[in-house]
């Protein structure tokens, strides 16, 4: 407790002690300061604050009244009690009037303590009142300030709605002066105003006011002079609960409302964006639960918004991406990042996994608490799938390139190797580090190829395409090998950025090529040998054949006995067949040797065909087959290679007869005239076994027969059609086949030919007439018997020829060149048959040249006879001076025809 502090004005020491004692009996710790002069008194009062002043009335040079005045001036609040001797009642009353608190007589000091207590109490009450008064003042001031400075309208009415009080700056804003309101009828003022109640219903201001006057609180917003006021009309009552009037409070909320409207607008904008965004959008709680999802997202995930609202983010995140997703989510809500952006997979309702791109951010309030998370989900499945496919194909190609047993490389524009596969490293003996350190290809081509390769690469960069470029490559250890490189330009943004290619070690191919060249040369050599062999063999085979055929021919005429005739015929037929085979082989070897040359000469097609028919007459008669020619011509002289034509048609007739058992063979000769050359068409049709479709192609191949192997039913070499086709093609024509198995075949030969002479037939060609014609043509009379010199080292041939022409020509024989020269020098022959191969110093051609030098023999026909039945030789013979040429073996007819033709020239 704070001790009581008392200032005591007293000039009597004794009295002072008594008074002090009296006080301290009640207030043990009271501090009593005694002064006795005016100066000390004033000094003390100014120096410190006392709770109480005690004063004697009469003081030397100073009195109690004066002291009181001083106290009232300096410390008016401090209680002032006179403690004095008797001063008289009047003076005491004056003193109290002047403002002293009390008066106590020194002889009645018992009253002092109650007086002090009273005075102190009084001070306490006074102070309390003052405080209350101050507080009141303060709060009044506050209220005034608030009402005057804030946009509040405050008024009060009586029970009739007449304003009794009004305050507030709000009126200033609304244009009404606050003071002007008192005495006005507020209900009337509210007439034209709308009052929007908080439940949204709008009533008139007057109605609202009357409602309030009936005791209902009205709460709403009014719109006045372009401003909004949130308004409360509060009825107030007297003790008897009668309406005494209305207290009206209006608060200007114009700014608030516009802020609210703005907020609403921005919310609306946000909602629109959210709904119509072309990507998926969702709002989530900070726990990852869905709050809303736009249509795009619903469509993307297959879940409706309602379904999503019952789900957590984690529920539809693809397993492998859950950890990443959670981590990102945590970063966001833990304030580590303002937003997160990452790729992840969702599982849709249908179970499909889709790739998305996520951008998520947290929306927070002022305090920084998360309101919700807003997430944008972009479907990047297609892009991702393409990316994955690209990666896969990249890996696939990389793997393949690594596997390839050839060098795969890429270089940049400075020829630095940017990629090379393992095979490449192995081939060129470089390591991966070498490449990483930066290696150019400058050391790869051999110095001799360097310029060429780099020039080519420059062109490749410009977009030029080359096949394989061959060059010599150099390994890291300096060894070399042949290689071939295929390359093209690497383009980046349509600009060349380097070269990519493959390089193949060509060593093996080089070796193979060399082997191949060698093999080809060997094969060609062998082929040559074969041709020579065939030529030689034909000579060796033909010579004895002349003997066989010649004598058989003579014997056919000489022998009468039926039995012997058969044998001779067999010898003759077998010989003929052998000769034919020989001819075919020879033709083939000539074709192969490329030595077949066409010799165009005019001849009568009809005559040649008639002759051929005659040739097959006896065999077809034996098989009881008809063999006929159908043609509108009697003579059809065209320019063609007669030998080839003969060979082709003979072959076709031969086959037709061979492969026909019933019916017969028809040869149809037609001619289509054209502007320049005409087309000769010869069809050979038979009623034989026919050829299946699948075999129609192969029969034109060498040595191919339909029945092949040991079980074949027909004899033959399988060469006939090959040669026929070849000859026809050589003459610029073609050969076509129409056939049905079991029904027969037709081979149709078309040949472009220049027509020389053409004559229509008066009568139809029958087999008989053909034969007759042929027989008639045989009787080609030559008036004198010509003398012929036969030069041949083979005595059999000589005997055969002599026998052939026993009664037709006179045949003289010379065994070699020397003998021949001797004979021509002594006699003049009409014709010389000259064998080319004479087993003496001089060969036939040497002898011919010598004979030609004899004046008498300048124009004498010399026919070269040789087994070297190669067409190309013929020119050699004619150049040496021969008139004609006949290859061995020849039949009697052939020889006779040749002799007659040169003799009648």
Binding site for ligand ADP (CB under 6 A): 651, 655-656, 659, 686, 688-691, 699, 705-706, 714, 716-722, 745
Cβ of residue 868: shortest distance to ligand ADP, in angstroms?
Answer: 25
Q: What are residue 397's phi and psi, to 5 degrees?
A: -70, -35
- Classify residue 428 by burial, with Cβ atoms within 10 Å: 0-12, 13-18, 19+: buried
CA torsion sign for 521, 524, 530, 534 is negative
Comparing CB distances to ligand ADP, the nearer of 692 and 766 is 692
Comparing CB distances to ligand ADP, the nearer of 345 and 650 is 650
Cβ of residue 751: shortest distance to ligand ADP, in angstroms?
Answer: 19
Q: Cα(801)–Cα(814) distance, rounded to whole angstroms? A: 13
Q: Cα(416)–Cα(398) distance, rounded to whole angstroms? A: 19
Beta strand 202-204 with 243-252: parallel, antiparallel or unpaired? unpaired
Comparing CB distances to ligand ADP, the nearer of 718 and 752 is 718
Helix (H, G, I), strand (E, B) or coil at 119: helix
CA separation (Å) from 776 to 614, 662, 771, 772, 781?
13, 30, 8, 6, 11
Comparing CB distances to ligand ADP, the nearer of 420 and 613 is 613
Q: Cα(630)–Cα(588) distance, rounded to whole angstroms? A: 31
Q: Cα(686)–Cα(665) distance, rounded to whole angstroms? A: 4
Cβ of residue 729: shortest distance to ligand ADP, in angstroms?
Answer: 15
Cβ of residue 667: shortest distance to ligand ADP, in angstroms?
Answer: 12
Comparing CB distances to ligand ADP, the nearer of 187 and 719 is 719
Closest CA to 886 of 821, 792, 819: 792
Helices and strands: H and E segment counts in the chain: 29, 36
Cβ of residue 614: shortest distance to ligand ADP, in angstroms?
Answer: 20
Q: What is the DSSP letter of 689?
A: S
Q: Cα(173)–Cα(791) distance, rounded to whole angstroms? A: 156
Q: Cα(802)–Cα(794) distance, rounded to whole angstroms? A: 13
Comparing CB distances to ligand ADP, the nearer of 289 and 581 is 581
Instruction: Give the containing element (helix H, strand E) for 758.
Output: strand 744-760
Cβ of residue 580: shortest distance to ligand ADP, in angstroms?
Answer: 10
Beta strand 52-55 with 80-84: parallel, antiparallel or unpaired? parallel
Whether residue 251 contacts residue 151, with contact meaning beta carbons closer than 8 Å, is answered with yes
Give me 658's structure tokens.
């061979």
Cβ of residue 684: shortest distance to ligand ADP, in angstroms?
Answer: 7
Cβ of residue 698: shortest distance to ligand ADP, in angstroms?
Answer: 8
Comparing CB distances to ligand ADP, the nearer of 506 and 576 is 576
Comparing CB distances to ligand ADP, the nearer of 76 and 709 is 709
Cβ of residue 735: shortest distance to ligand ADP, in angstroms?
Answer: 11
Cβ of residue 675: shortest distance to ligand ADP, in angstroms?
Answer: 34
Q: How far apart are the first and last CA of the chain?
A: 182
Give me 600's structure tokens.
């165009």
Cβ of residue 585: shortest distance to ligand ADP, in angstroms?
Answer: 11
Comparing CB distances to ligand ADP, the nearer of 171 and 659 is 659
Of all residues in the shown chain, the one whose CB is closest to ligand ADP is 716
- Classify residue 370 by burial, with Cβ atoms within 10 Å: 0-12, 13-18, 19+: middle
Closest CA to 318 of 358, 279, 375: 358
Cβ of residue 534: shortest distance to ligand ADP, in angstroms?
Answer: 17
Comparing CB distances to ligand ADP, the nearer of 651 and 848 is 651
Beta strand 678-686 with 664-672: parallel, antiparallel or unpaired? antiparallel
CA torsion sign for 631, 633, 638, 642 is positive
Comparing CB distances to ligand ADP, the nearer of 699 and 824 is 699
Comparing CB distances to ligand ADP, the nearer of 52 and 588 is 588
């Amino acid at each position: 407790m704070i001790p009581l502090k008392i200032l005591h004005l007293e000039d009597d020491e004794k009295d002072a002690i008594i008074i002090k004692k009296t006080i301290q009996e009640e207030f043990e710790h009271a501090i009593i300061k005694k002064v006795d002069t005016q100066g000390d008194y004033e000094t003390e009062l100014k120096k410190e604050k006392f709770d109480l002043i005690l004063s004697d009335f009469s003081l030397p040079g100073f009195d109690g009244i004066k002291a009181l005045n001083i106290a009232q001036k300096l410390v008016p609040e401090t209680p002032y009690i006179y403690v004095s001797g008797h001063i008289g009642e009047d003076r005491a009353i004056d003193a109290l009037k002047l403002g002293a608190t009390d008066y106590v007589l020194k002889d009645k000091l018992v009253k002092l303590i109650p007086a002090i207590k009273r005075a102190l109490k009084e001070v306490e009450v006074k102070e309390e009142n003052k405080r209350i008064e101050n507080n009141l003042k303060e709060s009044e001031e506050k209220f005034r300030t608030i009402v005057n400075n804030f946009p509040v309208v405050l008024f009060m009415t009586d029970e009739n709605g007449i304003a009794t009080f009004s305050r507030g700056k709000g009126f200033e804003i609304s244009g009404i002066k606050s003071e002007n309101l008192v005495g006005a009828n507020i209900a009337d003022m509210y007439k034209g105003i709308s009052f929007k109640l908080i439940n949204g219903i709008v009533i008139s201001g007057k109605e609202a006011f009357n409602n309030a006057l009936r005791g209902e609180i009205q709460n709403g917003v009014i719109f006045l002079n372009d401003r909004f006021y949130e308004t409360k009309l509060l009825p107030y009552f007297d003790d008897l609960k009668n309406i005494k009037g209305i207290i009206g409070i209006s608060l200007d909320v114009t700014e608030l409302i516009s802020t609210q409207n703005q907020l609403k607008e921005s919310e609306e904008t946000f909602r629109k964006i959210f709904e119509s965004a072309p990507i998926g959008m969702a709002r989530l709680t900070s726990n990852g639960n869905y709050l809303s999802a736009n249509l795009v997202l619903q469509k993307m995930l297959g879940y409706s918004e309602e379904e999503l609202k019952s789900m957590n983010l984690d529920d539809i995140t693809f397993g492998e991406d859950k950890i990443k997703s959670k981590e990102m989510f945590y970063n966001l809500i833990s304030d580590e990042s303002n937003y997160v952006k990452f790729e992840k997979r969702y599982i849709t309702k249908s179970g499909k996994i889709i790739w998305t791109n996520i951008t998520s951010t947290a929306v927070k309030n002022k305090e920084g608490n998360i309101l919700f998370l807003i997430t944008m989900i972009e479907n990047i499945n297609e892009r991702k799938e393409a990316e994955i496919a690209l990666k896969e194909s990249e890996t696939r190609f990389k793997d393949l390139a690594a596997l390839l047993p050839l060098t795969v490389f890429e270089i940049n524009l400075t020829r630095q190797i940017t990629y090379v596969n393992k095979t490449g490293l192995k081939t060129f003996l470089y390591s991966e580090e070498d490449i990483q350190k930066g290696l150019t290809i400058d050391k790869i081509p051999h110095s001799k190829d360097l310029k060429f390769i780099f020039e080519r690469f420059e062109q490749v960069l410009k977009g030029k395409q080359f096949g394989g470029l061959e060059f010599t490559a150099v390994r890291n250890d300096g060894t070399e090998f042949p290689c071939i490189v295929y390359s093209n330009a690497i383009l980046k943004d349509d600009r060349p950025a380097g070269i990519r290619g493959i390089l193949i070690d060509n060593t093996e191919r080089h070796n193979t090529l060399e082997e191949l060249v060698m093999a080809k040369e060997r094969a060609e050599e062998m082929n040559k040998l074969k041709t020579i062999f065939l030529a030689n063999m034909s000579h060796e085979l033909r010579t004895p054949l002349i003997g066989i055929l010649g004598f058989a021919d003579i014997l056919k005429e000489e022998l009468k006995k039926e039995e012997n005739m058969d044998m001779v015929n067999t010898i003759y037929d077998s010989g003929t067949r052998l000769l034919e085979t020989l001819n075919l082989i020879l033709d083939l070897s000539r074709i192969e040797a490329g030595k077949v040359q066409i010799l165009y000469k005019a001849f009568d097609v009809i005559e040649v065909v008639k002759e051929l028919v005659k040739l097959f007459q006896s065999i077809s008669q034996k098989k009881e087959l008809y063999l006929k020619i159908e043609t509108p011509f009697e003579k059809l002289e065209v320019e063609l290679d007669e030998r080839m034509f003969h060979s082709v048609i003979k072959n076709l007739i031969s086959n037709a007869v061979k492969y026909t058992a019933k019916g017969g063979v028809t040869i149809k000769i037609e001619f289509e005239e054209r502007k320049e050359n005409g087309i000769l068409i010869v069809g050979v049709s038979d009623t034989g076994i026919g050829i299946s479709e699948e075999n129609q192609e192969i029969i034109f191949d060498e040595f191919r027969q339909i029945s092949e192997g040991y079980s074949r039913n027909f004899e033959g070499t399988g060469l006939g059609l090959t040669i026929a086709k070849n000859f026809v093609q050589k003459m610029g024509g073609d050969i076509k086949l129409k056939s049905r198995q079991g029904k027969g075949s037709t081979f149709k030969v078309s040949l472009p030919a220049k027509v020389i002479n053409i004559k229509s037939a008066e009568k139809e060609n029958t087999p008989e007439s053909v034969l007759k014609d042929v027989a008639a043509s045989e009787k080609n009379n030559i008036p004198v018997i010509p003398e012929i010199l036969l030069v041949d080292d083979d005595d059999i041939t000589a005997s055969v020829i002599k026998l052939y022409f026993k009664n037709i020509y006179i045949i003289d024989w010379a065994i070699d060149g020397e003998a021949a020269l001797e004979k021509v020098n002594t006699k003049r022959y009409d014709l010389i048959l000259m064998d080319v191969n004479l087993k003496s110093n001089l060969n036939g051609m040497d002898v011919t040249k010598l004979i030609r030098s004899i004046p008498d023999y300048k124009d004498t026909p010399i026919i070269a006879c040789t087994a070297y039945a190669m067409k190309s030789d013929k020119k050699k013979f004619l150049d040496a001076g021969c008139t004609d040429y006949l290859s061995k073996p020849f039949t009697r007819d052939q020889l006779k025809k040749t002799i007659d033709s040169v003799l009648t020239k």
